[in-house]
Amino acid sequence: MTTLNVSPLTFGRRTLLAALAGAAVLAAAGPAAAQTWPNRPITMIVPWGAGGGTDATARMIASLLEKQLGVPVPVVNRTGGSGVVGHQAIASAEPDGYTIGIATLEIGGMHHQGLTALTHEAYEPIGLYNSDPAAIFVRADSPYKTAKDLVDAVAKSSDRQFKASGSAQGGVNHLALAGLLKAAGIPTARVAWVPSEGAAPGLQDLAAGGVQIATASLPEAAALMAAGRIRPLAILAPKRDAAAPDVPTLQEAAGLAWSMGSWRGIVAPKGTPAPVVARLQAEVGKAVETADYLNFMKSKGYATGWTPGEGFRAFMVANDKNLGETLTEVGLKK
Amino acid sequence: MDAVVTAFGMVFNTETLLIIAASSIYGLFVGAVPGLTATMALALLVPLTFFMDPIPALAAMVTTSAMAIFAGDIPGCLLRMPGTAASAAYTDESFAMSRNGHADTALGAGLVFSAIGGLFGTVVLIACAPILAEFALNFTSFEYFWLILLGITCAIAISSDRPLKGGIMLVLGFLVASVGLSNPAAFPRFTGGNTDLMGGIGFLPLLIGMFATSEIIRYALDTKARPPIIDQPIVNVFAGMWRLTVKYPVQIVRGSVLGTVVGALPGAGSDIAAWMSYAVSKKFSKEPEKFGTGHVEGIVESGAANNSALAGAWIPALVFGIPGDTLTAIVIGVLYMKNLNPGPTLFTTNPQNIYAIYILFIFANLIMVPFGWATIKVAKRILAVPRAILMPVILLFCIVGSFAMNNAAFDIGIMLVAGFVAYILEENDFPVAPAILGVVLGPMLEENLVKSMIKSDGHVADFFERPIAGVLGVATLVVWTWPFLRIAIGRLRARQPRSAA
């Protein structure tokens, strides 16, 4: 049986492990050796606020790790500075395996924007557990029925005739649109970007007629889509989303190859001992395959997946390059 | 209908009910101790709500604020020291009643008519908020820009008898809020390269500093002895309440209506509502000469007004995310934290949450009567709690609370600095409430201005193009130029008879 069973037996084992861990702390309070890891609580730093999407997924994984490893895994929110504060806190932590954290898409963009010198190189990648592609939306009564209609109209429009919203300046949804325009050979300055504090106000502005285009992930737009006020035209991903099979990919709808979306992965500070990193990869990999986790992610509308170790590193390298190019394109690279 | 049933289930479960009971006692206690305000009670409660689900967290906020506003009447009546600013308007009146031997009537009127006013405000909230929300679904940044500007204008014009100082404090709030990266261009402002400051000045430590730490400093520096408690047996709190209801129906309704309206206006909360109601009551009374000598009429009206203002303030907070007073400014922060972002979509996406808020308001105002009665009975003991013990405990909560949000010692520093600055400003008659509104509304105003400017490509005329935006814009400009308009109209009037003569 490979699935995690929540039987009294497991509970007993967990209690026992906790007791053993406690005893270990008392016995040897010396430097953490990989063999004895973990023998005290593991802090998980989240660079975004409590109650948000990243926080919710982090807490879910932390609670599963707690069961598997038998030590508490407290989640600490270090918010602010467009994610700089929290990402820095993970990188600056002691690389002993007792501090891990969630890295998000922003790690690939913030250094291009001159906000920090920090890059993904400050981390040991544990694994990528979620990526939610952006989608492009119009108002329900918009004349544009397909992504191709819209792209053609934008190509013919005058500068700044179209306005779009969905994130802050340089945020994921801004870059998603900018990359789309670039892929279609349209100058990115053609569409005026109206910055918003996250996807929800941007989508509401679209519904109210303040802008003509918005980019956001499908779960973020679910409420206004259900209310029949906005319409998705295409998803910016190589594959259709299993949860919304009717929404075509950008390739299908407009013949453009461009994908962009927010993602979340688990990282440890650089220098964390290799055996500990390997163990973490195995444990998190196990956690993200449990039924508890999969049901939770499904209920929230978040995509699931697992790309551990070097695969995740390669993903972050590509992400960094991609964001750098798009930021240069929109003039935000410093 | 399903949503209503779900909402009942969200409120009436063991966890939420226990939290409501605990927050009632907490709110009544904090409200009853002079120097501990309702705003302080809420600010110190925020860190605890981190560990609660959304509805219990809101239950704690609603109950604590309602109870604290009522309980503020108690020390006003027995010590001549208002427990919260909202009771200050009729403190002299109720103290005079106590001296005449009518302490139980004064406290009873405070309790019963607080509950009635609170229920009235809730009914208005239930009736108006969804309609406004439907309307607000069509709001773009232009409408929001004018609405916020109008709100800010009201905040300065109504919230204080010192509009200039109020305006300065509002701008100070803007300045504090502009620190960090959270601006439309995501450009670091006033950070000096400091990573902590990139995140901006934390709202919670600021709040705790301004409303709790400053009170501790004030206590520490205040050497005046406390006045003695009026020693008078409080026998029957509810005696004669029915007679008062029959005698003053107009006053009750008028106080509740005025309170709800004033509460709904940004910047003016329970305290202003009580002052205005007391003045209105005196002006229209058949026996104005009795006011100030221990006459219950003004207490009935303004007691209803300050509690109805509480619910009124939630209307703009829930529908637009614009706080009606300092209490709802805190509530808005908690709503965001709990992923219940205020705005019209809150009403459409998860209606059960909104119904749960309605139920909480009704329930809190109903249980206020028994809980309040019990508090009145033990009031003397509460007032006798030594403040030399109480204040250090509160300081401890201030420190833990500031640290809790980000687990950052930096935030404790912000709390201390905010406390000292707020203390110095208040001692010099600068009201601190407009500053906290500035912190909340400043970034919203900037964001909507920048968005609107981008949409209109810099054309100012577009700010008036959409019909609602046009009306709001003209209204704002009229309010701004009103003093000049009045002078101009006065001159015209003065000239006309002369030219006719």
At A130-144, the pLDDT tens digits run 988 999 999 999 999
Interchain pair A52, B339: CB under 8 A: yes
Q: Which of A88, A204, A223 sits opposite B195 (nearest CB)?
A: A88
Residue B481 within a domain: no
Residue B36 within a domain: yes
Q: How far apart are CA A326 and CA A303, in angstroms?
A: 24
pLDDT above 80 (res A34): no
Q: How far apart are CA B63 and CA B21, in angstroms?
A: 9
pLDDT above 50 (res B299): yes
Residues with Cβ < 8 Å from A121, sequence gap 6 or more? A270
Interchain pair A169, B185: CB under 8 A: yes
pLDDT of residue A176: 94
DSSP per position, B43-62: HHHHHHHTTS-HHHHHHHHH
Q: Tell me how close the Cα of B201 comes to any Cα of chain A, in angstroms.
A: 10
**Number of cross-chain residue pairs from A and B with Cβ atoms under 8 Å apart:** 110
Length of chain B: 501
Q: Tell me how close the Cα of B121 comes to any Cα of chain A, in angstroms.
A: 29
Which of A76, A87, A205 to mutate to probe the B interface, most B CBs <10 Å? A205
Band of pLDDT at residue A4, cut at 50, 70 and 90: very low
Average pLDDT rounded to a whole number, residues B112-133: 93
Residue B318 within a domain: yes
pLDDT above 50 (res B71): yes
Residues with Cβ < 8 Å from B332, sequence gap 6 or more? B317, B321, B323, B342, B440
- Quick: pLDDT tens for A58-111: 989 999 999 999 998 988 888 777 788 889 989 999 999 999 999 999 899 889
Band of pLDDT at residue B379, cut at 50, 70 and 90: confident
Q: Tell me how close the Cα of B170 comes to any Cα of chain A, in angstroms.
A: 22
pLDDT of residue B420: 96
B184 and A CB contact within 8 Å: yes
A103, β-bridge pairs: A265
A192, β-bridge pairs: A163
- Quick: pLDDT tens for B90-109: 888 999 998 888 888 999 99
Average pLDDT rounded to a whole number, residues B458-464: 90
Q: What is the enclosing helix (H) or strand (E) of B423? A: helix B409-427
Which of B198, B450, B463 to mutate to probe the A interface, most A CBs <10 Å? B198
Interchain pair A51, B338: CB under 8 A: yes
pLDDT above 90 (res B338): no
pLDDT of residue B396: 92
B453 and A CB contact within 8 Å: no
Indicate the average pLDDT of chain A: 85
Q: Which of B30-39, B119-128, B236-245, B320-329 has the highest mean pLDDT?
A: B119-128
Band of pLDDT at residue A50, cut at 50, 70 and 90: low
Q: How far apart are CA B15 and CA A243, in angstroms?
A: 34
Q: Do domains A39-131+261-328 and A133-260 have the same CATH topology?
A: yes
Name the closest residue on chain B to residue A210, using Cα atoms: B140
Q: Where are the domains of chain A?
A: 39-131+261-328, 133-260
Q: Which of B139, B345, B451 sits opposite A194 (nearest CB)?
A: B451
pLDDT of residue A1: 34
Listed in sequence order, the DSSP H helices in B350-408 are 351-377, 379-383, 387-406
pLDDT above 50 (res A307): yes
Q: How far apart are CA A128 and CA B119, in angstroms?
A: 51
Tokens of A26: 């008392």
- Quick: pLDDT tens for A145-169: 999 999 999 999 999 999 999 988 8
| Contacts B186 to A, Cβ<8 Å | 82, 113, 168-171, 195
pLDDT of residue B497: 61
Q: Which of A108-112, B238-242, B492-496 has the highest mean pLDDT?
A: A108-112
Q: How far apart are CA B284 and CA B282, in angstroms?
A: 6
Contact B142, B460 (CB under 8 A): no
As its CATH architecture, domain A133-260 has: 3-Layer(aba) Sandwich (3.40)
Interchain pair B345, A200: CB under 8 A: yes
In B271-362, DSSP assigns E strands to none
Interchain pair B348, A113: CB under 8 A: no
Interchain pair B181, A81: CB under 8 A: yes
B209 and A CB contact within 8 Å: no
Average pLDDT rounded to a whole number, residues B201-213: 90
Average pLDDT rounded to a whole number, residues B345-364: 89
Band of pLDDT at residue A27, cut at 50, 70 and 90: very low
Interchain pair A195, B184: CB under 8 A: yes
**A152 burial level (CB within 10 Å; 0-12, 13-18, 19+):** middle
Please report, to the nearest 10 degrees, the dihedral formed by the alpha carbons of residues B239, B242, B245, B248 taken in order. -70
Tokens of B494: 């003065």
- Quick: pLDDT tens for B390-444: 889 999 999 988 887 677 789 999 999 999 999 999 999 898 888 888 998 898 8
Assigned CATH class of A39-131+261-328: alpha beta
Better pLDDT: A7 or B500: B500
Listed in sequence order, the DSSP H helices in B50-162 are 54-71, 73-79, 91-99, 103-136, 141-159
pLDDT of residue A314: 95
Q: How far apart are CA A166 and CA A205, in angstroms?
A: 9
Interchain pair B198, A80: CB under 8 A: yes
Average pLDDT rounded to a whole number, residues B190-197: 82
Q: What is the enclosing helix (H) or strand (E) of A193? A: strand A191-194
pLDDT of residue A22: 46
Indicate the average pLDDT of chain B: 88
| Contacts B414 to A, Cβ<8 Å | none
Name the closest residue on chain B to residue A205, using Cα atoms: B140
Listed residue (B118, B149, B131) closest to B312, CA to CA: B118
B154 and A CB contact within 8 Å: no
pLDDT of residue B483: 81
Average pLDDT rounded to a whole number, residues B11-26: 94
Number of domains in chain B: 1
pLDDT above 70 (res A5): no
Q: How far apart are CA A309 and CA A303, in angstroms?
A: 19
First to last CA, chain A: 53
Give the range of the structural domain holding residue B288, as residue numbers without chain letter. Answer: 2-183+192-465
Q: Tell me how close the Cα of B288 comes to any Cα of chain A, in angstroms.
A: 51
- Quick: pLDDT tens for A217-233: 988 888 788 888 899 99
- Quick: pLDDT tens for A230-254: 999 999 998 898 888 999 999 999 9
A228 and B CB contact within 8 Å: no
Residue B88 within a domain: yes
